[in-house]
Structure formats: C-alpha cells, structure tokens
Structure 1
C-alpha cells in the first residue's frame, strides 16, 4: 500500500478564537470577584451580609462539584462551539440581571436575583477552566500548545487584576450600579464576539493528534481510573494548587492584624502604602501570575517532554517561599513588610504558573481521552480545595476574632505543596499525544494503546509536514 503524507494547516482565525476565549476567562473572573474589593459598598447598597459576600464567589466551586460530570459529557457530545457560545451568553445574563436589583431597603426582597446571577457566573467557571487546553489542541501546532493554554489560563489572573482596579475605580467615582452596568455591557460584548465566530475546530487540523477521534465518554472514565500517572497528577495538582490558591481568602485576616503593618488601603500614596496593602498584594500576584504563566508555557513548548522537571522545580521553589512565609508570620523569620509581600507573592505566583503545565501533562498522559474529560477532573480537585476553604470561611472559623486559625492554615498550604511535589516525583511521565504528532511511536508505546489510533500504512511514514 502506498504511503501518504498528510498535510496539516494552521489558520489565522486561531488567534481570534484564542482572544475571545481569553476575554471570556478574564471577564468571568472579574464578575466572580465583583464584591470582594468593595465589601463596604456592597453591604451599604444591597444589604449583603458577611456570609453572602463569602457565598457568592463560592458558587463557582460548588458548580464544579455538582456539574463536572454532566458538563464533560455535554462538551464531548455537542462540541466546543455550543459550549463556548452558550457559556458567553450565560455569563452575559448573569452579569445583566444584577443591575435590576434596587438599593436598600428594597433590596432585601430582591437579593435572590443576585444569587441567581452569581450561580450563572459560577457555572461559566467550568468552560473557562476546561476549554483552554481543548482549544489549544484543536487549533494550534504542538510547538504552540502549552503557550496558548497558558495565555487563556493566565487571562483569569489578568481578569482578577483588572477587576480589582476597574471595580474599585468605577464604584468610587460613579457608583456601584454604574459598575454593574459596565460589567453587563462587557458581558454582552464578549457574547457577541463568540456568536460571530467560534467554531469547534478548523477545517483542516493542525496536527496528527488533532484529527484523531477521542475515546468515548463512558470508556474515558475507565481509562482515567486505571491510569496511575493520571491519578498522581490529578491529586497532586488539586492539592498543590487548590489549597495554596485558596489561602488568599484568609490573607487579609492574617496580615491586617498588625503583622508587618498591613492594611486594605487601595490608595497608592507612597511605596510603603503600596507594599503594605493586602489589596495591592492581590493585584501584584494576579499580574505576575499571568506573566510568569506565559513565560513557563513558552519554555515548556521549547523544551518538550520536560513537564515533570518543570513542575518539580515550580513546586519546590513555591514550597520554599510558603515555608519562609509561614515561619515569618509566626515570628521565626522577618516580619518586615517587604519580606512578607515578596515571599507570599512569589509563592502564589509560582503555584499559578504550574497550572497550565499540569493541564498539558494530564492530557499527554491520557491521550486519546478527550481533553475536556481529563483536564476536567484535574479542575474538579482544584475546586474541591477552594470549596472546602469557602465552607470553613462561611462557618465563621476564619474571622477577625480568630486570626490564629487562619495563620495555622499556612502550614496546611506548605504541606500541601510538599505533598504534591512528592506525588509528581513518583509520576512516570508519558507523552502519548506528542508521540503521535512527531511520529515517534515505538514498540513500548504499542503496548500502551496508541497503535490502534494509526492505520498500518501510517505507522512508518516520513516526517510530518505542517503548512502554515
């Protein structure tokens, strides 16, 4: 049988798809933290209680726990286009209905509308965290995949940074209702961009792996459960990212109690005013997370088959920063404001930087399981950690009256990172998808279910030709 050399193409439209997905990721995170920077104004304008302000953002991890299985089935059944476009409009609706709530005292009778809006916003967290690696795999070449995944994942961090500034500025100068109007308008704008153009995949795939059919949804569960490498990555990623990232929620309780002289002041009147503000600390973490995440994605694409080394380095250094931060707040290290600011900022940034690498690693380890299914359960474990923190906070365990309880969680975050590092060390890395793309399938990989994906005529073909 005559061997054939397939052509694979990339399209300029892939950049549009990446941009609109990144805008959705950013806007969902802006809407998710709507009232976190303006707690006082939210209480005065809508009568929200402390529990409700904690509960509204907690709807996002709740949606993950409840909807992850039906969502991954829906995604594999109906495709990226329907999921993406519907998610954009659901986010627009969730942002829009909040503007119809009257101010206090009438607001108490309409506050359920606010909850519905944030449940819809919380649901969009599923496609926001699951679609990035799918879009990268469907539209981009192997040498571009990790970076493009990092761009859309890190857009979430940029969204939080922009949201912090935008929400505070609009509320202070134009009022909380104007801020909600602007957010609703942005939601409709992004939804319109999705409606204009957001296909599930390009006419011609960019790589060999992109053109192959994925494992059925029912069979995927069996393959994932029986894959020890995947289990290690999912548990390690969930613990190593979920717990430390959730620790941000108690940061102000710890630092604003006269440790290092921190406060929540958002006015930059001096360098000390910036460096001693927990609000600006959150802003700096978000910006740097986005930058470092994309840098890590760039180098991961240049040094393929090195995910394990990269993850171990990120987790090890982040553990060191978290350990020093924990020692410092207990008085065993320096409680200097600059030390605490830099130490925690870098610890959190490195944890977030590992996220796109974890996504790509689990997909490589489980190919040909659908990207949405394999990455979905990684995202689930991350959100379980976030949800547990939220539940503890709602129960009143972490409060201004008990800062020592919040301080103790710093050791839990440090231990979680070290435990994740151990699991990644035991993970036996595999690059099944990459092996298909570079036609490096060996006898070892033939024992690992890949040969069934390739017809006999294609197993020994020449180098893959990619037309830009």
Structure 2
C-alpha cells in the first residue's frame, strides 16, 4: 500500500530514507505502485462512466427518458469536470494527492452505486442523474492526476511513461465498456 504520494526522498536532497518508503520496496517500486494504482483508478473511472454510451438507446426506451435527459446524461462528464477542475486542483495542492484520490474512489463507488439502486422506473431517473454527476467529479480527479503523478514522481526524461500508461488505462476502460456492456444487455455472449 502506498503511504503517501509526495516526492520520493532521493529527489528531496535529504539523503535519508523517508518513513514513507519503509517496507514499500524503495522509491522506484513505490513510483511504479503509485502509477499502477492510479492506472487502475483511471480504468475504473472511464469504464464506469462509459457504460452509459453503449446502452443509451435501450436505456431510453426502458426508462422513458426524454431527449433532454439523454443529452444531459451524455454531457455531465465535461460539464462537471469544468466546474470541479479548480476546486479539485486546490484540494490536490493543499492536501496530499492520495487523499484526493481516495475521495475520488469513494465518489466513484457512491455514484455507481446510486445508479444501480433498483427502484421503480419513474423514481430511478433522478438517481441516475445524481450518480452520473457524481461520477463526473471522479473524472476531474482523474484528469488532474495525470500531470500530478507524472511531474511529482518521475524525472523529466521519464514523464512520458506514466502519462502514456495512465492515458492507455483510460482508453482501455472506454474500450472495455463499449465491448463488454452491449452483449450483457442483449443477453448474448458474442462480442459485437
């Protein structure tokens, strides 16, 4: 488990091993663990939010959504990211980024859980709007986390590595949602 997402001791110039690194396999392994942890978060965030797009038509028929509701659910992500980018950035600057990421993970779990609550058709639409908006906050954490992880944890010559891994995790999460969700909804096991 990563104890903190602050700059490793070898780059602070203190020369002493920090308490952060005790028992975690050293600074290089700690960097990789932090990057892989954030890649997992990025994958799950992209996957959970993108499950809406492949099933939009079936969902609109089942829950009798208007065109405005469909459009709102589709555009929550960019709107919420725009609104919450500054507050999340301030939180990341004042707090340890690990705490911001834990908050994002809790919000992702909460937003996805709210969307999955089985209720009557007419009562579920507000819950789905709320859950999707909460998931948009998770995207703000994800987008702001890419430069934070790259700039804080990796030397200038190596910063493209975490950026590529995290961006690939986002793309893989999107692709997985588009490949896995429609067959589940259609009730067959063949990939589209």
TM over 0.5: yes
Partner residue of 1:73 out of 78, 84, 90: 90
Partner residue of 1:137 out of 142, 148, 151: 151
CA contact (8 A) 2:115 2:131 kept: yes
Q: CA deviation at 1:36?
A: 1.4
Output the CA distance in 2 between the equivalents of 1:90 and 1:153: 21
Equivalenced residues, count: 168
Answering whether residue 129 of structure 2 is matched by residue 115 of structure 1, we say yes
Answering whether residue 54 of structure 2 is matched by residue 37 of structure 1, we say yes
Answering whether residue 146 of structure 2 is matched by residue 146 of structure 1, we say no
CA contact (8 A) 1:30 1:160 kept: yes
CA contact (8 A) 2:150 2:163 kept: yes
Q: List runs of 5+ in structure 1 lacking aligned partners.
A: 1-5, 175-265, 268-468
TM-score by length of 1: 0.34
TM-score by length of 2: 0.78
Output the CA distance in 1 between the equivalents of 2:73 and 2:99: 26
Q: List runs of 5+ in structure 2 lacking aligned partners.
A: 1-12, 17-25
Q: CA deviation at 1:78?
A: 1.1
Output the CA distance in 2 between the equivalents of 1:76 and 1:137: 13
Output the CA distance in 1 between the equivalents of 2:66 and 2:51: 15
Q: CA deviation at 1:13?
A: 2.3
Q: Which residue of the partner structure matches residue 248 of structure 1?
A: none
The structure, 1 or 2, with the larger RCO (C-alpha pairs under 8 Å, 6+ apart) is 2
Residue aligned with 1:143, SS = helix
Larger Rg: 1
Measured on the aligned residues, the alpha-carbon RMSD in Å equals 2.1
Answering whether residue 126 of structure 2 is matched by residue 126 of structure 1, we say no
Output the CA distance in 1 between the equivalents of 2:80 and 2:57: 27
Q: Judging changes above 3 Å, is the alpha-carbon distance between structure 1 residues 34 and 53 closer, same or farther for their aligned structure 2 residues?
A: farther
Output the CA distance in 2 between the equivalents of 1:53 and 1:161: 21
CA contact (8 A) 2:38 2:166 kept: yes
Q: Which residue of the partner structure matches residue 4 of structure 2?
A: none
CA contact (8 A) 2:150 2:159 kept: yes
Q: CA deviation at 1:95?
A: 0.6
Partner residue of 2:29 out of 12, 15, 18: 12
